[in-house]
Amino acid sequence: MIIFSSFVILLLLSPVLIENEEKMTSKKYTPQEIARLILLCWHGEADKQQMTELEEWLEESADNRSFYESLGARSYQGTEWQEYMKYDSRKDWKRVKVAMKRRKRVPFRYLLPYAALVLIAIGLAWMIKYKNTGKSEQAVSMVETIRPGSSKAQLVLPDGRRVDLEVDRGCQQLKGENFVNDGKQLVYHEQENGKRIQWHTLSVPRGGEYKLVLADGTRVWLNAASELMYPDHFSADQRKVVLKGEAYFEVTKDVKRPFSVVLGDMETPALSVRRL
């Protein structure tokens, strides 16, 4: 059933990519190939090679990156699309298999034309709805209600770029960065000694929360309406972060590098597990 849902998403993405093909440039990839790479990233199923291919396409031109970032504002990223993604296809597929066992087997090749018609109909219906809703619905779809406790956060990089971690899940092992995001947690990895330290900021809006794993393995649960500034990797003699709001820390033990949290004008040590 993953094949079914993936094919539907390809039906939705491919026309949009083809429609914008004149604005984008690509020396190696067709719109359908780019749609597949984006799909794998959204599902968090892209391997290292596929993530590299997507990054190559993004680096080919500013228009490519701008178009990719605009996908987060498309109407199919709104509430209805999220409801579709919550659909438990595996559970319903089990029901279908039970029902099929009770009936006489039909050769699969006879079912293919009907399956193709169903998929095409779904894709066309969605595209027609998308075109008829107009810009006003697109603007409304960008205003999302944040449910309490949902994984929602924004990452601010040293160069000022802002990354919506929910929209860009699975695709944040960006060129030159040492972190991976899956839409629920942001995980950093240790850098080589001597590399320049850069500060990142993780910001969680009201009604949200997000899990962060720092480069030393320390785990942080950042609460709603809170912000944490931290280095992409720690120095050899200390580990320091700056907190605005509330967070829960599970600190990795390291006697040579004490861990401390700056809260306004106060700096407090966090030795093990602590809520601040």
pTM of the model as a whole = 0.46
Q: At what angle do helices 2-19 and 108-141 cross, to 10 degrees?
A: 50
Mean pLDDT to the nearest integer, 230-258: 92
Mean pLDDT, to the nearest integer, of 230-250?
A: 93
Same domain, 233 and 105: no
Question: Are 129 and 154 members of one domain?
Answer: no
What is the number of structural domains in the chain?
2
What does 81-124 look like in DSSP terms, one character per residue?
HHHHHT--HHHHHHHHHHHHHTS----HHHHHHHHHHHHHHHHH
Is the domain of 202 the same as that of 136? no
Task: Tell me, yes or no, whether 251 and 211 share the same domain.
Answer: yes
Q: Over pLDDT 70: what percentage of the chain?
A: 55
Q: Are residues 11 and 88 in the same domain?
A: yes
Indicate whether 229 and 108 sit together in one domain. Answer: no
Do 103 and 232 have their domain in common? Answer: no
The β-bridge relationship of strands 150-151 and 208-213 is parallel
Residue showing tokens 């998308």:
130
Summarised one tens digit per residue, pLDDT across range 47-68 is 888 888 888 888 888 887 877 7
- Examine the domain organization and report whether 8 and 40 are in the same domain: yes
Residues 109 and 194 in one domain: no
pLDDT, tens digit (0-9, with 9 covering 90-100), for 80-92 = 445 444 545 455 5
Q: Are 209 and 221 in contact (CB under 8 A)?
A: yes
Query: Which CATH number does the domain housing residue 161 bear?
Result: 2.60.120
Domain boundary among 98, 113, 141: 141
- The residue range of the domain holding 215 is 150-275
Residue finishing a domain among 72, 107, 141: 141
Domain check: are 164 and 271 in the same one?
yes
Average pLDDT, the chain: 71
Domain termination residue (choose one: 107, 141, 175) = 141
